[in-house]
Structure formats: structure tokens, C-alpha cells
Structure 1
Amino acid sequence: MIWKIGISLALFPVIYLLIAFVLILFPPRVKDTESLNFSQLHGGPDLSEQQKMQKYTARDGQQLAYRHYPSRSSVSLILLHGSGYHGGYLDPMARYLSNSNAAQIYVPNLRGHFGSGECRGDIGYIGQLEDDLSDLVDIILASDPDTTIIMGGHSSGGAMAIRFAASEYGEKIENYIALAPILGHKAPTVIEGNGGWAHISLPRIIGLSMLNNVRVHIFDHLETIRFNMPEQFQNGTETLGYSWRLMTNFNLHTNFRSDIEALPQTSLTLVGRDDEAMNAGAFIPLFNALYRSVELLDDQDHFSLTRSETSLVRINLWLDAVTRGN
């Protein structure tokens, strides 16, 4: 009897690893479904018209891209793009806010995206995005020590801003803006596939999670999510797949409520009532329970928040209040 127990105990790690290795064999595949309303972005500036990209050097020596929109404001807003693309689609918002002197704007292309890092769709380790953003903050402060730094983002970029607030670097930032933040698959705001945009490999995610649980990370480069961007909106600068480590880092932590609670109570979260990527109505009870505020804007969907006069004026007013408060 004892020897049977011994054999079972000896075989358990082998079986555990075997199951994990089988599960990671299944890559993500994009299903034939409708996606987000990209027409909201149609007619925006093309690459030649967007603010010129600059580069900064991260702590590992890699060159990362960003756009800078100067203004006379004492506030610096770091604005983070969502998944699958880069900061270019935020160009109209950045120009509006800088031209109105609400803030000078920095729009980085996060590592693993167009112009940033060596490998599109991948990063070196989970937590590297926070390190990169902290490096950018330090560069901004070195050039303007008296500036007040705000971090904001749209979609997954909004989630990244919230995640940064909960990180070891969160105190570097005075306040935060989250526009239509994707709060993750455990949040009540989630809808399956984010409106047809995101397509994951659940078996591979489970397998990699199992391996990470026993500190095996050599397969973290494997792709776990694909994005459904219609071909007519592609131009070669998009990033339509993420590795496990980039997907994980570009989301809130498992305890997403704790991340949200890291936001200052004066932070600004905006969500369109017609957002096709999430359940907008679920934001109110969730944020109220965490004593954080969120505003639902009528007649706005996922991308219109980055372009509409309604949202841009609201952001401008909030930034003006931050400036007067300092």
C-alpha cells in the first residue's frame, strides 16, 4: 500500500507537467466574427501626418518609441494606447489636449509594439512594461523637475495605467485617467471576446499558468491571444498577437479590485454607454463598491471616447482642475 502511494506521489509531477505541455500546443485562432467599430478611427491622420516618433533608452538598453506634444502647461500626461496597435490612433486626442494647453502629452509605443523593442508582440518578462514606463517618467522629470505627471490610457492602456498605480512606481504619478479600461476576464464588466476583438487560447493559457506555478517560464514567449482587426484598417504597424507575458503584463492583476483601489479617489474614469467591448453598466456598482468614481457618457462607444468633443472637453476640464489644484 505504501509503495503505491509512493509511486503515485512520484508520478504526480510528471503527469502535471505532461498535461501542461499538451495544453500549450494549442495556439490562439481568430474566429470569423464581427469586431469593434474601427470606423470611428477612419479619417484620422496617417503615419506621415502624426507627430514624429522619438526614442528613449530603457534600463535594458532597448530603444522605445514615443511621441511628444509640447504645451505651456505645468502638467505632463503620459497617454497609453490599447491592445493591437500603437499610440498613433491617440494623435488627435494628444493634439487637442496639448493645443488647449491642458497638458503636454507623451504617447509611448509600449514595448512589443510598433517601433519599440526587438520583438513585436513580446516582452522580456512580466512587469517590464511598468519598468519601461518608470524609465520614461524619470526622463520627463529630469528634463522638467517641476512638472506634475498624470498617467492615462485607453482600453488596455487604461488598464495599464491602473496597473501602474498599483505597482511599486505608483507614487511617481500624481493622478490617473482611464478611458474605457479593460478590467480583465474576472471583472463583471467583461463580455466574451471583448466584442469580437480578442481571441485567446484557453488551453495554452491554462498550460502556461500551470508551468508558471512551478516556476517554469521558458515558454512564456508563446502566443496566447490574437486580435481581430479587419484588413481594411491594417497598415503593417499593428500587432495582432501577444505572447503570454505581454498579454499578462498588459492587464490588471488577478486581484483587479485591489488595482482599482490604488487609484486616487480624484482619478477620472470615463466609459461610453454604447461601448461594444464591455458591459458599461457594470462599471457603476463595481467602482461605487470600491469608493472610486466612474462616469458613463451617452452616445459614446469604445473608440469614440478618444475623438468625441464630449469626452475631450471632459478630460480637458479635469486636467484644468488638476492644474489649478497644484
Structure 2
Amino acid sequence: MHQDAARPERRGRLAVGEPPQAKQLGHWDALADLGDVVCLVDCILAKSQSLRRAKAKVAVLFAKKRWIPVLLGLGILVTPCCAFGAEPDGSSFSFAELATSPTQLAPVQTLKASDGTELAFREYLPSAPVAVLVLYHGGGAHSAAGYQTLGRNLADRNRIAVYTPDLRGHGASGGPRGDAPSSAQVLEDIGTVLDAVRSRHPGLPLFLGGHSSGVGAVVNFLTGPHPRPVEGMVLISPEFGHFAAVDRPNLPHPFASVSVMPFILNSMSGGLLGGHCMAIKFNYPPNVLKADARMVTENSVNMAGALTPASPRSQLAELRMPLGLWIGKQDELLDPTAVVNLAGAAASQDKHLEVLEGAKHLSILMTVQAQIGPWITSHTKTGAER
């Protein structure tokens, strides 16, 4: 019997927000991971804008003896190591509601990111808007994956102009699928979009929001080095990342699988290596991928870093603008009580935290306009005067 026939599954499993139980893997897995690392390092150096600069950084690592922890980390790879459980079968949550959404899509428009990449977005405009909402999609998704219903309803029923951008590497935006030059570039893109939207609607209150892991990107942006002033935050089914520990326990079908080595390599190299490695795999059901080829199935270390707050509780404590949060009581991935408790850490004195009966992680997009619309308009000058 060949030993490789008995090799266990290499890819890990992560239910969005929480590492699962670890199990022991053998030397075959470690050697395969080491081969992946070697290939990835070669690829990243080859794609570097300046190979000379990359080599110089490596030289600095060795000069400062930072090669010691790097080698120790690589040494871990050739001993039995921990990885996560096997891929789940089945769906993490129901896509049925989104599949039946009849709402007409707005056409794609684009603008240029600071590095020249095309950033796509869709615009839902009422005739006389009273406020503006920029809403970012969740992990692997895009602006046409159910967000059109919410955008159209807010525009038609609440006179809110809604912009639904595609993150770079997602949907109709440019860039390698699921990847980015850096986590910082993804956050800079958010600033670029906000600046463009504000220029279209001078004087109107501007709100920034996200759904699922789009919330993580919004939190990172607003607590990052170059935030923009916004009137308030709109958080829907908020995925604050695995450091938040707000997942439902014992999920039967975790949504995302994690390969841990690229994150280790990236951390040990001070961000020089591994950033473009695909480290997160989204477990979208085959029928969803067949129906929508625009869904992204993997995210790189750089993209994952942009969508994952490193310290969600302390970052929320920095946010003082009005905050509205809505999560379904039947959310398949997140524990609503834990999410609401975490959001309570926000410094804002104006927080609306609501658990919606009957709503799920995705189906909430079909109905939450009824709550978000009045909340936003109540925070405009017109709404306050009513």
C-alpha cells in the first residue's frame, strides 16, 4: 500500500469567525506544504514590482537575524503539525431567497483606484435623495449577489441613494480574483469610492455599511490610518472576523476553509512573503457556483487581512458615529446574542442593535430595508425635523 494513499486532507476548516478542532497530520502534509511555500515565495518575488527591492528586504531580514524565527517556522513544517478538519459537504446557509430575487440590477459603473485598477460599483438613485449609503458585500460575493434588492428598495421607498461596490478582485472590479497588492490597498479603495460618491452628492449625509465580512472591511477602514468622515455605520449580519469569537457553536457546514501556513509565512516575513497566497476557501455549494460564475471561491492573505479586524472589540471602541446593526435571529453562521454584545463595545452613544425574527444570514437582505431605511432617514436633517 502506498503511503500517499492514506494521506489526510490538507486543507483546514474554519467556520467564519472561529478556529475548529485541530487534528494531527503527518510528514507528507508538511512536506507538501513546504513545497507550496517554496513555489509561493518564488512566485511572489517574480511578481514584485521591484525584484531588487524584494531581494534587499530579504537581505535585511538575514542581516537582522530575523531568519532565525523564519527557519524555526519552516522547521515546524517538517514535523507532525496541526491542521483543521476535512472539507464539509453541503451548504453553510440558504441561497434560495437570493436566487428568487426579481429585482432589476443597476448597470455597472467604474472608477480608477490609486494604482489604476478598475473598481466597479452599482448605483440605485431616487429622484431626490435625502441620504447616501455605500454598502460593501460579503466574502467571495459581489454587488449583484442579492444586494440589488436592498439597494433598489432603499432608493424607491426611503429616497436613499445606494452604492454597492465590488471589492477589487471581485465581481466586475479588476485585479486578480480574490487578491490585492496589500491589505492597505483594499482599504484605500474604500476611501477612493467614498470620495467619488461624496462628490456626486455634496451636502448629503453619507453612511458606510457592509454585510457579513464586508463589515470587517468597513471597521478596518474607519479605524485605519486614512478614514473618511461618515454620518453613520450600517452593519448587516456583521462578520467581525475570527478574533471576535461570535460564531454559532458546532456549525454542521462551516462556510470557509483556512490554510494556515501562508498566514504564518506572511507574519514571520514582516509581510514580505505570502501575501498573495490563497489562504481562505469559501465553501459555496456547486449549484451556486454554476449559477453565478462571478462568485470568488478563494481569498489571499492580503484580502483576508483587509476583511478581518485584528482586534474587533478595541476597534469598535474607537467608533463614535451612529451605528445601526441588524442580524437575523436564525442566522446560520453567527450567534446573534454574541454579536450584539460585541457591538455594544462601540464608543458611539447612538447605537441601534436589532435581532430580526425569521431572518437568516443572506435572506435578511430581502427584508431589512424596512428597518434600515427609517434608521438612516432619522439621522438626516430632514428626518430629525419630522
Superposition CA RMSD, Å: 2.8
- The answer to whether the Cα contact below 8 Å between 1:36 and 1:196 also exists between their aligned partners in 2 is no
Find the partner of 2:74 among 11, 18, 28: 18
Task: Rate the CA distance shift 1:169–1:12 in 2: closer, same or farther, 3 A.
Answer: closer
- The answer to whether the Cα contact below 8 Å between 1:102 and 1:319 also exists between their aligned partners in 2 is no
- The answer to whether the Cα contact below 8 Å between 2:210 and 2:235 also exists between their aligned partners in 1 is yes
* Structure 1 stretches lacking a partner, 5+ long: 1-8
1:245-280 deviation line (CA, Å, top 9, x unaligned): 10111122x111122223335310111111111111
SS of structure 2 residue aligned to 1:40: helix
Q: In the alignment, which residue of structure 1 is the partner of 2:150?
A: 93
- TM-score for the superposition, normalised by structure 2: 0.73
- TM-score for the superposition, normalised by structure 1: 0.85
Q: In the alignment, which residue of structure 1 is the partner of 2:136?
A: 80
For 1:110 and 1:197, the matched residues in 2 are separated by: 19
Q: Shift of residue 78 of structure 1?
A: 0.2
- The answer to whether the Cα contact below 8 Å between 1:28 and 1:224 also exists between their aligned partners in 2 is no
1:107-148 deviation line (CA, Å, top 9, x unaligned): 100111022122111011012121111111111222332122
Q: Shift of residue 28 of structure 1?
A: 11
Task: Rate the CA distance shift 1:266–1:233 in 2: closer, same or farther, 3 A.
Answer: same
Find the partner of 2:302 among 209, 227, 245: 245
Find the partner of 2:279 among 220, 224, 233: 224
* Length, aligned pairs only: 309
1:227-249 deviation line (CA, Å, top 9, x unaligned): 11112222211101011110111
Deviation larger for 215-224 or 27-36: 27-36
Decide which structure has the larger Cα Rg and report it.
Answer: 2
* Structure 2 stretches lacking a partner, 5+ long: 1-64
1:191-211 deviation line (CA, Å, top 9, x unaligned): 479752111113443x23xx4
Q: In the alignment, which residue of structure 1 is the partner of 2:107?
A: 52
One-letter amino acid matched to 1:86? H
For 1:201 and 1:233, the matched residues in 2 are separated by: 23
Task: Rate the CA distance shift 1:244–1:313 in 2: closer, same or farther, 3 A.
Answer: same
Q: In the alignment, which residue of structure 1 is the partner of 2:288?
A: 233
Deviation larger for 176-185 or 216-225: 216-225
Q: Shift of residue 158 of structure 1?
A: 2.0
For 1:30 and 1:276, the matched residues in 2 are separated by: 18
SS of structure 2 residue aligned to 1:77: strand
* Identity percentage of aligned residues: 25
- The answer to whether the Cα contact below 8 Å between 2:209 and 2:233 also exists between their aligned partners in 1 is yes
SS of structure 1 residue aligned to 2:122: strand
- The answer to whether the Cα contact below 8 Å between 1:272 and 1:300 also exists between their aligned partners in 2 is yes
SS of structure 2 residue aligned to 1:138: helix
Q: Is the counterpart of residue 300 in structure 1 residue 359 in structure 2? A: yes
Please identify runs of 4+ aligned residues in structure 1 that moved more than 6 A.
Answer: 20-24, 26-29
1:27-86 deviation line (CA, Å, top 9, x unaligned): 99743243211112121248xx41110111111111110001112113111011111110
